[in-house]
Structures are given as structure tokens and as C-alpha cells.
Amino acid sequence: MIKYEDIVKRISTIEKKKIKNEERIKTLSEENNILTANLKLLNQKKEMFEKMDQDLADLIPDKKKTVTN
């Protein structure tokens, strides 16, 4: 037969696990938001560098092209 105390203990254990899981979800969500923001920043910087590289390539002729011309 199931005792009332066993049921109360089980409920208490489940509630503690729930609280821990909620805290873990919150922490992981915050980390995810930070990583997402960092990734967006890095992608913006990458695009900026690619554009700068292209602009420099347009301004400075390639050495190979000038040798063959």
C-alpha cells in the first residue's frame, strides 16, 4: 500500500527537479541569447571585412594582372 508520506516525498522531489530544470533552462536561454548576439556581430564584421577587401581589390590592381599586361 502506498503511504501518504511517500507521495509527499515524491511530489517534493519532482518539484525540486522542476525548479532546477527551470533554472537550467533560464541559464541556457541567456547563454543562447548571448551567443546569438555575438554571432550576429561576428557576421556583421565578416561582411564589413569582405566589403573592405573587395574595395581594396578594386583600388589596387592585382600584381599578376599588371605583369601580364
pLDDT digits (tens, 9 = 90+) for 3-49: 999 999 999 999 999 999 999 999 999 999 999 999 999 999 999 99
Under the banding of pLDDT at 50, 70 and 90, the label for residue 69 is low
Q: HSE (CB half, 13 Å, CA atoms) of 14?
A: 6
Residue 65 has pLDDT above 60, yes or no: no
How far is residue 18's CA from residue 12's CA, in Å, rounded to a whole number? 10
Global pTM?
A: 0.64
- Give residue 58's pLDDT: 87
- Give residue 62's pLDDT: 72
- Give residue 68's pLDDT: 56
Place of cell 599586361: 69
